[in-house]
Structure 1
């Protein structure tokens, strides 16, 4: 909760303070406005905001308003939801309240509003002990529309049984139109949670929390255990809503520059005034402290991307203090950074660098998401025989910290980064604020005090001056003398997946066996009723909507200066209200890199800022980076030319930001990396490769649809083929092999060759975003930086020609993993960003959402599905955590036919345009402005032309591009990631890859 960002220029500060001063007078403490009493107010200068805390007199609803000169306004209503079992009642209720309400009785108004709004964010989330419904938008009318839909959903939901069955769980015939087909489990949340726990690290995190905090709601699975979800009844769901979704149990939040008085008037008159105060009885007690540590062991499925003998995870979790102890939790957050973050942290040295494991265990560090906070440390990617050794190392590391303490510059670098984060501007400050505050607010913490970051920093500094051993004493208090410790070990078990399948089959068999004749008939009838509902065209006139006319025809251009310095090195200068922060970006072209070295570039990106340089080893480099910047980043840069599909650009993108006073120091560190990168430490290289491979492997379950899209696109686009090689399943497989390679020294030699070719000014271009006051100085400093980089500037274009050797082809690939769900994708040829059809294709993808959502999620039971039309990239269909495979692939084809038959209206087109513009006109922070031009070569004129193409697209345009690029496409790439599938795996047209 301590990493907030500021979004103000100096000129905006005076205006904001003036406006907030007027609000302070209007909302004086003790005043009553529209049923709310003002109980607190506070100006927080470091965040450039004024906070107001109000209480609804009649119901006791708690309200927080953050007044700030930010047009991206946010609203959120949340409830303390404290389930006592693992049926997923809170999670399933979150889905169900968004399935229609008294004022908006249509099916699934939440998803319908995605295309009737210009929201910059819409979602709903279930946490351990809370459920929140946040949205953000820059449009005043849109804000009121969405507020009405959200409030009606939570306070007056229909909660129909048929929606409970669709979203939660149900018994239904496998083939809904065949009465003789077997009865199976279906349901969106049921399949979602099967997908969640297919990730062994998610399973580990869940069991760890259940074990260390067992006495109350944290001892169960709030999202739902798939084997417990079928115990939940519709009656249980409705009872949970009545107990928990009441104003007396609510927390309401608004943020931005819209009128607080208007918000309060609407909320009170339309909703809260209709309720009476109750005692919700949802408080969570402190976890009773143990007298002795405890431990447990669980099993999981094997990870096909990891070595067989390195698949054990271990963690030790300690219960700490109440989440409401604001300063104590600030101190613990600092300890988290000191103990486990970065190569200078004691546990990094004692656990990661010993090569006993590949990476820290999940949730390692301080966790302030629960009533009683915890700290966890451990390893994943271990050998099972090393468990006791690692437990001993954890104990001795705490002993060493108590004896030796922490270096003062490490403490200072952490405090520096907190201060920098308050100046670093983001486009979603208000949203991030409420998501950070919710766990704290949920347990009645002092919100306004929590916002005062500077006072906590000053207090800690004063304490450390008086008592330099203060942090060591905290380590002794919480980790040495604390008996409330829970150790958990997880290792793969042979036939684990089969046992889960058997357990589900046994549960299903019992459910079906116990059905009476009448209940069996009801299963069939409900299946038909649900099918009919899903296929019935709805009247959506009850839902509010913006109009296409609400979208501005034009938007202001971004002022960008382009100059050539140091012998024709391109420099882009973007002057912005950056609030005292300077932003640095550079692209190093790989155009002239020898072909045989190309495969090593992504590795160099991964380790570039983590190996050390010049007279700085990797620890010194990490420390210097933290002291002068918000972090150094390097990533692969591969983009299509926005106008010519035969051209592309490939390189390395490096970037960082800092306080303007540290700009020279930050550039000096980049200079060290460019000129004197250290690539001799095999031990360090091994550590990094293991960590990177583990991180990528862990991302597979969560981002399976993205991996599927990448793989599907790789056969039809050269740029996508390159992206697959440097970041897709192909790269993941390469990392796995690299972890077992005995030739890491030789690979480092190859990386030296790559760095010699790339880390120079031969093919570099630079961009800086900075304030007007420091622009000239920053440009001069960049010029000096470039003068000192090795190499000579080249006047050659950074663009390359797509090799003639690459032949686009139709390809179908099944990546076989031990997963209970599928991720599928189908991709089609791409066209350049500036092509006239690019805009209509974006609308087409959004238009298809209504069809795909109904078929893939509502009927098919997948967690999600849709279509992407990212300009310059292939048009792609996808599904996520999907129980189906070939059925979904057929649905993609059916979506094309649905469009070609013209089964959509002008209103559907208008809504699709609104949906597209949520992304097109999304707010951009000062540090990011101009990056569309710098990174993608998309000028403001190109951007404006595409906006007009989207605005002006007609039904005929959509049908035309659908036929041309999808129906008549000669090339298609298809990918399925999931379990074995006899229908596909016996088809010779499919490539099978077993992992």
Structure 2
């Protein structure tokens, strides 16, 4: 049935996705509602608005933040974050894109879903948008000593600091510059997140005006998914929001870009540290503006061409970019991008030098010209078509709910005038594409039409600068000094008063009972863990999970890491990175890349290192090699899995050189984007073998190891020595104890068992190898300060605590949420201006960590970590706050994944002693945690003399730290 305020436009089943597409229109305002009806209790809601910035003040981004700071029906300080604590949500967020803003959530509980729906509707349509919230979330002026008008003036604000952090990443700068110059006359020209230099120009009045013109039902699209009916949702839409609006006379839209008549060229700079080298640090991109992205067939054409050129190392353009001496690796921005109203294609190099820009452009055009004249191998085309089909078939949902992933595919076409069903049900368009591909001239024609004959092309060069950071800092200081010099006494008094009033507001608790909630009584008695069954294959222990996978098969081989000599140990992560990227058996690496793309969804490698459930100093390490395929390719994929393990070739030395350069380039460009992960790992490195090895392999120590290796591979002999080490690791893994994991639909099991039996009979037998030795115990206090080029900081403080099975572990798990909800969010984010602050128990490393990220402060945040523990012991706490913390933990435990992902997670957890029985027992103990438990475990384990600290920031910021620090540079 349809709600009387809506009219049904159409209802169409999409068999391949197991959903029914329903489209509705609100009769009064014209608001659109797309509902995907599915037999899935993890219901999803999302409301989106076309948001079209006309400058780079970040108005859409700041509005997204500020809208969630209180509304008419729920006038509390931060209902969004408060609801994350009063909910069993499986996903809850808000995000700003380049031309639209979305507010999604998901929940398996109908009561919880309805609670969240009411809060979200009121937040977006009726926000308070108070000046103090704008000052907190967006930007404000404040004296460095808030009550001293003689102290230096500062810019503060959560979004302001978030974007300063984002602009510390060279890849983010590159992406924003790409949009700015490829789309010079449309909204994409502007930095929708906000340019730090422009954000302070936004006024509160402009923010409110933007909300009034953009957050209106006539400009809105509602999206829902799951087993709740469209009518159920529409009743809330109408009664809680839509009935209070009149239609707009005009609707917002994004225009098309004015086309270049000739290619354009731009040269820019990005900041690096004063002591860093500039050689091999330039980014060179070529980008073309293509067609409107609302046409699914044109998108598929461009996606196909992009895949044929760049999908893997067998693709001609990627091969040219990987093997050239003109740069280190293909740009991480390479590929087809359909996120804007008009799509684009990008290719280029990282790690280049300015004198080679012309040669790089010539290299790219040589490849494109060759494709236009001679075409490509049909196998490359077939491989890309296969990857498109596989992506359409797979039921995903690990991390982001499957329903939300489907809805996100609908957003851009819905908001830009396309047909969203075309982007869900692509079978007809894909079949038509296959027919076109039978014409050998189809790819050459696309290369000419979309690229060679397309004058709307941009060449973007971004060079490193040792002085840009200082220049930007100097400009900001001068700007603030100019503002401060012209402040009247009354204006100074107002700034001091604003800081005082904001601090009072931040410290004054809101009445949480205004908001709806679920309670512990609403928590299900149990949660779902898929159960596997055992049936050996070729004498290998094998665990089978029968799941509804929509015609796909998932296979994994898990190997206990064997003892390795010290000279091999640091190369284990690189072995994982290289294993699927090299040749195999008779196939060289390019032939192997094509074969993988033709039969499966790639090969995934991973090292799992986790502490014992009974002792953090006892560790198990497991290597996994995984793949997925359509049922029709299961035999070839099973053989590929075996062959990769036994026949991977490391004899193509030039290929190994390219891979190490690519890995290094990726690591170097991602320091600030991964800064919070790096300091988390570094702070735990002295707590347990797991922490030490993670830092050594995947932390900042690992990054330095990769740099040293890359610098050393300057001769064929050095490369040969490296290749021999990788081969030795392969041989050691090949005879180590192993077992299989298979996830498939029930009807595939018998056939697949026969296939696997044949494949694994030919693999060398397991030997009685010793497991990888990790020195124990690891117990030392770390105090490290890592310097890099960044305008924000990352802080972590870690304490050694308990194993997973310890009686105090449930209290430590809940304590993380309790400290974040009650103290850290307010002090680190709201008052301190960091993008985030949290505390968490890490059972893998036996650690409890505090963390802040994209943080304008250092020492102050570290002190706040300590103050959180004082607050815990000296404050009288409401039982409600404990309940909220427990709900947050239970929500994460119960969060569903994809059918295959849930099975894989259950299997991997079991390998490390996290059996279903152990997980269920831990969940029950979490539900029984008391306030006294929290205070007791904090007193017992979180003692200052046992704390390890790691921070990442600019060298000048690190100079201001108190005490003795081990200084490192990355």
Normalising by structure 2, we get a TM-score of 0.96
How far has the Cα of 1:710 moved from its partner? Answer: 0.2
Whole-Å separation in 1 of the counterparts to 2:829 and 2:321: 43
Q: What secondary structure sits across from 1:808 in the alignment?
A: coil
Matched, 1:221 2:191: yes
The SS at the match of 2:899 is coil
- Of residues 62, 65, 88 in structure 1, which corresponds to 2:58? 88
Which deviates more, 164-173 or 828-837?
828-837
SS in structure 2 at match of 1:119: coil
Aligned-pair distance for 1:494? 3.0
Conservation of the 8 A alpha-carbon contact between 2:331 and 2:348: yes
* CA shift in 2, pair 1:368/1:403, >3 Å: same
Change (3 A) 1:362 1:421: closer
CA distance in 1, matches of 2:875, 2:230: 44
Contact 2:59/2:194, CA 8 A, preserved across alignment = yes
Tell me the alpha carbon deviations over residues 728-765 of structure 1, each in whole angstroms, 9 at most, x when there is no partner: 1111111122222122221112112221211x243212
Instruction: Give yes or no for contact 2:218–2:251 (8 Å, CA) kept in 1.
Output: no
1:122-141 → structure 2 map (5 Å cutoff)? 122-141=92-111
Q: Indicate whether 1:589 and 2:563 are aligned.
A: no
* Matched ranges for 1:849-928 at <5 A: 849-850=820-821, 851-873=823-845, 874-928=847-901
Number of the residue aligned with 1:763: 737
The structure-2 alpha-carbon separation of the partners of 1:440 and 1:307, relative to structure 1 and needing over 3 Å to count, comes to farther
Give the alignment partner of residue 781 of structure 1, picking from 755, 765, 769. Answer: 755
- Is 1:615 equivalent to 2:589 in the alignment? no
Q: 1:618–1:982: structure 2 CA closer, same or farther, 3 Å change rule?
A: closer
Corresponding residue number in structure 2 for 1:273: 243
Q: Does 1:937 align with 2:913?
A: yes
Q: Determine the structure 2 residue equivalent to 1:56.
A: 26
2:316 aligned with 1:350: no
Tell me how far 1:557 sits from its aligned partner. Answer: 4.6
Cα distance per residue 1:23-58 (max 9 Å; x no partner): xxx45xxxxx33111112211111111111111111
Q: Residues 895-920 of structure 1, C-alpha deviation per residue, up to 9 Å, x if partnerless?
A: 11111224321100111111112210
Structure 2 Cα separation of the partners of residues 724 and 862 of structure 1: 25
Looking at structure 2, the residues matched to 895 and 842 of structure 1 have their Cα atoms a distance apart, in angstroms, of: 16
Structure-1 residue corresponding to 2:343: 373
Q: Are 1:388 and 2:363 an aligned pair?
A: no
- 1:91 is paired with a residue of what secondary structure? helix
| Residue in structure 1 matching 2:613, options 642, 645, 666 | 642
Match of 1:201 in 2: 171
Q: Which residue of 1 aligns with 2:117?
A: 147
- State which of 939, 944, 947 in structure 2 corresponds to 1:963: 939
The worse-fitting range, judged by mean Cα deviation, of 158-167 and 215-224 is 215-224
Structure 1 distance, partners of 2:748, 2:273, is 51
Shift of 1:303: 6.6
CA contact (8 A) 2:827 2:864 kept: yes
**By how many angstroms is 1:869 displaced?**
1.3
Segment of structure 1 superposing worse, 101-110 or 428-437: 428-437
CA distance, structure 1, for counterparts of residue 770 and residue 90 of structure 2 = 36
CA distance in 2, matches of 1:606, 1:725: 16
Report what 1:7 is aligned to.
Answer: none
Structure 1 stretch displaced more, 430-439 or 271-280: 430-439
Give the one of 160, 164, 170 matched to 1:190.
160
1:599 corresponds to 2:570: yes
Deviations 1:784-814 (A, max 9, x none): 33321123354x786x67524x541111000
Distance apart, 1:552 and its partner CA: 1.3
In structure 2, the residue matched to 1:991 is 966
Equivalent-residue separation in structure 2 for 1:375 and 1:975 (angstroms):
40
Maintained 8 Å contact 2:293/2:299: yes
Q: Distance in 1 between matches of 2:775 and 2:840?
A: 26
Distance in 1 of aligned mates of 2:163 and 2:670: 16
CA contact (8 A) 1:836 1:946 kept: no
Aligned residue in 1 for 2:600: 629
Q: Does 1:483 align with 2:455?
A: yes
* Partner Cα distance (2:921, 2:544) in 1: 24
2:294 is the counterpart of 1:294? no
Q: CA 1:145–1:660 in 2, change beyond 3 Å: closer, same or farther?
A: same
Q: Tell me if structure 1 keeps the 8 A contact 2:820–2:839.
A: yes
Q: Tell me if the contact between 1:128 and 1:218 (Cα under 8 Å) persists in the aligned partners.
A: yes
Q: Which residue of 2 aligns with 1:457?
A: 430
1:974 to 933, 949, 968: 949
Cα gap change, 1:802/1:737 in structure 2, threshold over 3 Å: closer, same or farther?
A: closer
> Is the aligned partner of 1:952 residue 2:928?
yes
* 2:700 corresponding residue in structure 1: 729
Q: Which residue does 2:803 correspond to in 1?
A: 832
Describe how 1:94-133 pairs up with structure 2 within 5 A.
94-133=64-103
- Aligned mate of 2:234, from 264, 276, 287: 264
Q: 1:692 to 1:725 in 2, by over 3 A?
A: same
The alpha-carbon distance between structure 1 residues 983 and 198, as it changes in their structure 2 partners (threshold 3 A), is closer
In the superposition, the TM-score normalised over structure 1's length comes to 0.94
Is residue 469 of structure 2 the alignment partner of residue 501 of structure 1? no
Aligned equivalent of 1:21? none
- Give the whole-Å Cα distance in 2 for the aligned partners of 1:934 and 1:616: 32
Structure 1 residue 792 corresponds to structure 2 residue 766: yes
8 Å Cα contact 2:56-2:192 kept in structure 1: yes
Deviation at 1:304, TM superposition (A): 8.7
How far residue 645 of structure 1 moved from its aligned partner, in angstroms, is 2.9
Distance in 2 between residues matched to 1:224 and 1:327, nearest whole Å: 33
- The CA deviation at 1:927 is 1.1
Residue number in structure 2 paired with 1:715: 686
What whole-Å deviation, never above 9, does each CA across 1:695-752 have from its counterpart, x for those lacking one? Answer: 2222221221111000000011111110111111111111122222122221112112
Which residue is equivalent to 1:15?
A: none
Give the whole-Å Cα distance in 1 for the aligned partners of 2:588 and 2:353: 29
SS state at 1:255 partner:
strand
List per-residue Cα deviations over 1:1-29 (Å, max 9, x = no partner).
xxxxxxxxxxxxxxxxxxxxxxxxx45xx
Q: How many residues are treated as equivalent by the alignment?
A: 958
Q: CA deviation at 1:563?
A: 4.5
Superposed, 1:693-708 pairs within 5 Å as 693-708=664-679
2:222 match = 252
Deviations 1:468-490 (A, max 9, x none): 31221121111111111111111
Equivalent-residue separation in structure 2 for 1:982 and 1:150 (angstroms): 39
Going from structure 1 to structure 2, the CA distance change for 1:576 and 1:326 (only over 3 Å counts) comes to closer
Q: Which structure 2 residue ranges, 5 or more long, are not aligned?
A: none
The corresponding residue for 2:48 is 78
- Any idea what the Cα deviations from partners look like across 1:108-163, whole Å, max 9, x if unmatched? 11111111111111111111111111111111111111111111011100000000
RMSD: 1.8
Post-superposition shift, 1:651? 3.3
* Residue 933 (structure 1) shift: 4.4
Q: CA deviation at 1:839?
A: 1.6
CA contact (8 A) 1:612 1:620 kept: yes
Deviation of 1:556 (Å): 4.4
2:497 is the alignment partner of 1:530? no
Q: 1:808-827 maps to which residues of 2 (within 5 A)? A: 808-827=779-798
8 Å CA contact 2:532, 2:545 repeated in 1:
yes
The verdict on how the C-alpha distance between 1:303 and 1:734 changes in structure 2, with shifts beyond 3 A counting, is farther
Cα separation, partners in 2 of 1:422 and 1:366, compared to 1, 3 Å: closer
Distance 1:988 1:449, change over 3 A: closer
Shift of 1:357: 1.7
Contact in 2 for aligned 1:305/1:697 (Cα 8 Å): no
Deviation, 1:893, is: 0.7
Partner SS for 1:215:
coil
Per-residue CA shift, 1:601-648, capped at 9, x if unaligned?
111111011111110111111111111111101122211122333421
2:139 counterpart of 1:163? no
